[in-house]
Amino acid sequence: MTPIMTHKGEFLFWVFVFMAAIYGVLAAIDFIPNERPLSYVVPEVAETAVEAETPYEPVEAAPSAAPLAGDATPNQIIIDKFEKTLTVNNPVQSDITTLDNSLLTGVARYPSSATMNDDGTMLLFGHSSHLAIVNNQNFRAFNDIEDLVWGDTIRVRSDDYEYVYRVDRVYSLKATADSIPMESGMKKLVLVTCNNFGAKEDRYIVEASFVDATELR
């Protein structure tokens, strides 16, 4: 090998070593940018239910709670099975950009869905990701909700109250479906996520019925 080719090989080797060292330092101080999800696909919120792919046990409807005297805006959701507490954001607009931004700091209540004080369906969206490294843990907010089963409890809190819901239905909704089931006349909670981070694929749906309300202070 000629001296020129030898020096060229050494140069490329040391460039690679230098770049690897720089990347390692940036990763150590968390200076590598977070993964940015593709735009979250927000299907139409329908007033009619979508037929489930799997049967489920019917849940006896609990009586509606009396109207709250305090704040009825949800700010936390607690999934007891996973010992997970998440922030609930309440965006005013339902455009993709607004919802995407809300999902960066927690889960998002769909603006036109019910609050805790309404006899209707509260619809919460959240990301899921099974990547090995995710700097923003909100991309894993609704990881594994497909593993919830009938009878599991989910709690939703405002500043003044905690509502308890019981899971009664868990299933997947095809990416081609353009609506999410909604009910009126009784308090319901619906959780919605993608089964793959940043992709338009099947969504997991969890439906839960109201059980009880407790005053926090």
Radius of gyration of the chain (CA): 22
Strands 121-126 and 188-194: parallel
Q: Is a pLDDT exceeding 50 seen at residue 49? A: no
Q: What is the pLDDT, as a whole number, of residue 15?
A: 62
The answer on pLDDT for 20 being more than 70 is no
Query: What residue spans define the domains of the chain?
Result: 1-32, 44-215
DSSP for 39-50, written as a single string = PP---EE-SSPP
pLDDT tens-digit map of 69-125? 667 899 999 999 999 999 999 999 888 888 888 888 999 999 999 999 899 999 999
- In order of 69, 184, 204, the CA distances from 171 in angstroms are 35, 20, 6
What's the rounded mean pLDDT across residues 155-178?
A: 88
When pLDDT is cut at 50, 70 and 90, the band that residue 180 belongs to is: confident
Residue 198 confidence (pLDDT):
46
The answer to whether residues 171 and 53 touch, using CB atoms and an 8 Å cutoff, is yes
Distance CA 133, CA 120 (A): 37
Mean pLDDT, the chain, integer: 74
- Report pLDDT for 45: 47
Q: How many CB atoms lie within 10 A of CB 208?
A: 25
Domain spanning 44-215: which superfamily? Answer: Sortase (2.40.260.10)
pLDDT of residue 206: 95
What is the CA angle 64-69-70, rounded to 5? Answer: 110
Would the pLDDT of 164 be above 50?
Answer: yes
Residue matched to tokens 């009825």: 72
Q: What is the pLDDT of residue 22?
A: 58
What pLDDT, on the 0 to 100 scale, is given for residue 43?
47
Q: What is the mean pLDDT of residues 120-148?
A: 85
Residue 144: is its pLDDT beyond 70?
yes
d(C-alpha 86, C-alpha 106), whole Å: 6
CA 76 – CA 207 distance, rounded (Å): 17
Task: Output the pTM of the full model.
Answer: 0.69
For residue 20 the two structure tokens come to: 């690897």
